[in-house]
Amino acid sequence: MKTFIQKYYSRSPMLLLRLIRLVLVGVLLSSCEKALEPDYPDFLLSEEAVFENESTVNAALANIYAGLRDNSPVTGGVDGMGVLLGLYADELSYYRENAPIDNAFYNHTILPNNTAVGNFWNNSYSLIYSANKIVEGLEDCPLEEEQRNGFMGEALFLRAYLHFYLTQLFGDIPYIQSTDYNENASVSRMPLTEVYQIMESDLLAAKNLLPVVEPSGERLKVSKGVASTMLAQLYLVTQQWEKAIGESTAVITEGTYTWQPDLNSVFLKESPATIWQLKPEFEGSGTKEGETLIFDFGPPSLYALTDRFIEDFETGDLRKESWTRALTDGVQSWHHAYKYKQNYYGGSSTEYSILFRLAGQFLIRAEASLKLGNLQEARDDINVIRLRAGLEPTTANTQEEIRKEVQNQWRYEYFTEQGHRWFYLKRSDSANEILGPVKPGWKATDVLFPLPANELWNSY
């Protein structure tokens, strides 16, 4: 049996063209406006034509952005990290009947044949293939240099971004940089240090090529600030503290993004603190996060925040009031995440799915400053988060006290967002301490997922 990578990379070289044609057909059949889809030519004569026209390259990239929104680890739906890692950590409980995947994540009984784990892997490499196809097609294309550079920066960033989450979920992975079947047929897992080096190279190249501000003004495509945000995250994970501080500081001070002081406006589509977001497929739709996490009566049909999560809110934390909502049936009560408030089809979409926002850069800088022993700098950044939440400045003084405060702010600022709570517990070696007492199935080896079953034979 071939592995996923072998099967995927042995497909016809016309794969990308077919995907774009599917997008074009969808545009013709739909009366609703779709995000990130410019005006296209009525037909494409050859794969080479994709890279001779700005609109068709935009279409190819739009397919990747749509894939991130709908079928990737960062999707806000039931099969994304926000939900599944919320179950895996201590944020969410599930109420779906006959839900073996939810049960496996909640109880830490994930096996190599778990469908969601396989989807994390397969869908990511599918999108990586598309990004690589664009990188290769742009090498000798006739586009103007500025256009070509911008597209190349997007594709390199997206390739690195997808690989990053694969490393966080699986550890050592193949870093795929080609669509050549012969080259990829025998790929195997690479040491994390090597993967991170290639990833950093891709991100630095992308940052150099990308525009400062993306053209739509809605922050739907990647830009220099998005690349810096991702670099800060990479440097935090790889313990390059000074570099993490440098990139996060650049994002905070550069001026493109500004702090949003109103908790109820943080997740609106025009929030100035949003760095990168994905538009719903149809104008007027809510986000996948809103559709998945909001419920209007109890008991919940899908998910609710755990009682422990709600009980641990610090007294006076306005995020409990603004970003959660309680419902009761008169006997029991439940809370759901209420960061995104539109879970219906309306005249317009008021919210987009946020992948990066400014608060994360303050927390990254606080975490890195703490590792360097710069306690006051860490406190200052924590207090930016606390003050918006209606809390007094932190009284933490020692390194350990500030570490717990950083942990707490990651927990309550980023709950149900792309697994941030879980990833903090993982990189801070806190998972045993936090999850051991509340997850009977917890094992120290659970910091990484098993490779999908059909990848095991070709892993080494």
Question: Which tens digits make up the pLDDT trace of 333-343?
Answer: 999 999 999 99
Q: How far, rounded to the nearest angstrom, does the alpha carbon of residue 12 sit from its chain's CA centroid?
A: 29
pLDDT in tens, 62-103: 999 999 999 999 999 999 999 999 999 999 999 998 999 999
| pLDDT-wise least confident of 41-55, 61-75, 265-279, 362-376 | 41-55
Asked if 127 and 68 count as a contact pair (C-beta separation under 8 A), the reply is yes
CA–CA dist 148, 143 (Å, integer): 6
Asked if 88 and 108 count as a contact pair (C-beta separation under 8 A), the reply is yes
The percentage of residues in the chain with a pLDDT greater than 70, rounded to a whole number, is 88
Q: Which of 240, 257, 51, 37 is nearest to 155 (CA)?
A: 51
Q: Is 101 exposed, middle or buried (0-12, 13-18, 19+ CB in 10 A)?
A: buried
Asked if 90 and 436 count as a contact pair (C-beta separation under 8 A), the reply is no
Asked if 306 and 298 count as a contact pair (C-beta separation under 8 A), the reply is no
Q: How confident is the model at residue 186 (pLDDT cuts 50, 70, 90)?
A: confident
Phi-psi region of 78 (alpha: psi -120 to 50; beta: other; left: phi over 0): alpha
Look up residue 273 and give its amino acid. A
pLDDT reported for residue 29:
32
Count CB atoms within 10 A of the CB of residue 383: 18
pLDDT reported for residue 431:
95
pLDDT reported for residue 16:
44
Could you give the domains of the chain?
A: 1-70+111-210 (1.25.40.890), 76-110+238-444 (1.25.40.390)
pLDDT in tens, 344-394: 888 899 999 999 999 999 999 999 999 999 999 999 999 999 999 999 999
Q: Which residues pair with 274 in a beta bridge?
A: 357
Q: How confident is the model at residue 47 (pLDDT cuts 50, 70, 90)?
A: low
Mean pLDDT throughout 19-25?
Answer: 41
pLDDT reported for residue 367:
98
CA–CA dist 420, 404 (Å, integer): 15
Mean pLDDT throughout 40-56?
Answer: 61
Q: Measure Cα distances from 195 to 96, 236, 282 in Å.
A: 37, 15, 36
Give the helix/strand (H/E) hosting 267. none
CA–CA dist 445, 441 (Å, integer): 11
> Would you state the structure tokens that stand for residue 194, as one six-digit string?
């090597």
Q: Measure Cα distances from 352 to 76, 214, 346 in Å.
A: 11, 16, 14
Is residue 33 predicted with pLDDT exceeding 80?
no
Average pLDDT value for the chain: 89
| Cis-peptide, bond into residue 299, ω within 30° of zero | yes
pLDDT reported for residue 111:
95
CA–CA dist 174, 77 (Å, integer): 26
Q: Which of 236, 268, 269 is nearest to 251 (CA)?
A: 236
Asked if 204 and 231 count as a contact pair (C-beta separation under 8 A), the reply is yes
Asked if 209 and 30 count as a contact pair (C-beta separation under 8 A), the reply is no
Is residue 5 predicted with pLDDT exceeding 50?
no
Mean pLDDT throughout 410-416?
Answer: 98
pLDDT in tens, 114-168: 999 999 999 999 999 999 999 999 988 889 999 999 999 999 999 999 999 999 9
pLDDT reported for residue 368:
98
Instruction: For the chain, count helices (H), then strands (E).
Output: 20, 6
Q: What is residue 58's DSSP assignment?
A: H
Mean pLDDT throughout 161-180?
Answer: 96
Is residue 107 predicted with pLDDT exceeding 90?
yes
Q: How confident is the model at residue 182 (pLDDT cuts 50, 70, 90)?
A: confident
pLDDT reported for residue 61:
96
Asked if 432 and 444 count as a contact pair (C-beta separation under 8 A), the reply is yes
